[in-house]
Structure 1
């Protein structure tokens, strides 16, 4: 069978693999029933839906003819590096790495680092708009997670708050 749209086919493969992984991981939790849902119910259903959507997209990539076959282009390594690096930096700054002696820097600094590093993945860097976005995300995260949900997340580094 010939792949008629490489982009659709491999996007479907990605969706299917991620969906199956989520569904499989959710089975380690108590799933429960539709009337009495456990902590694994939502991830299981989300994984199943995602896998089914992936299968539909894969089928489309195998059956729908495109003019050029929609070949997959080169990998955008710069963007992959900066986006993954931004998420890694966010996790390290938010929680710290006590085994390496790196203290937690808190939510606000972690969000600013996330946005500033991820902005490097783009082709245009406008520092004022990046800082505005970081400020909106930091304020919104504070309101949502600290004020509204009352989560116990460190907001500032301990050398600032004492």
Structure 2
């Protein structure tokens, strides 16, 4: 048996590893019952489900004929680095600058990950997503997220 699709094979392996890691981490928490689930109930089930999806993906990648068009190539670094920087920036800036400054900054930054970046579209997206996030999380769900910088 040969690997028919490298992309599907390795994505299946990653799903299995991540799913089993979450499932094993969830065993540290109380499981509970189906009627009264504990804190480990959902992560364990989700981790096992992710591992099962990975196994199905991995089995689908094995076969007799090889698809050379579905080979893994070198990573595209720009989107990878921009998205990682945006996630780290959001985690660092949100408690310090608040939602109304951090979200537009992070959204515009993530728009740089694409090659057809247009500042006007990125700014419009930032406004819509920031207002929507504020309405959903601060107004609707009443979460205690810093909206403005702590100095104000």
* TM category, shorter: over 0.9
Gaps of 5+ in 2: none
* 1:89-127 deviations in Å (ceiling 9; x for gaps): 0000012xxxxxxxx101121211211111111001111
Check the 8 A contact 2:107/2:122 in 1, yes or no: yes
* Larger RCO: 1 or 2 (CA < 8 Å, sep 6+): 2
Check the 8 A contact 2:3/2:9 in 1, yes or no: yes
Q: What SS does the aligned partner of 2:13 have?
A: helix
Which shows bigger deviation, 117-126 or 19-28? 19-28
TM-score (norm 1): 0.87
Matches within 5 A, 1:12-161: 12-63=12-63, 65-68=65-68, 70-95=70-95, 104-159=96-151, 161=152
TM-score (norm 2): 0.92
CA distance in 2, matches of 1:110, 1:21: 31
CA distance in 2, matches of 1:66, 1:136: 45
Does the C-alpha gap of structure 1 residues 154 and 12 become closer, same or farther in structure 2, counting only changes over 3 Å? same
Q: What SS does the aligned partner of 1:75 have?
A: coil
Q: What SS does the aligned partner of 1:123 have?
A: coil
CA distance in 2, matches of 1:74, 1:61: 20
* 1:32-71 deviations in Å (ceiling 9; x for gaps): 1111111221111111101000011011111263432621
Give me the CA root mean square deviation: 1.5
CA distance in 2, matches of 1:48, 1:79: 30
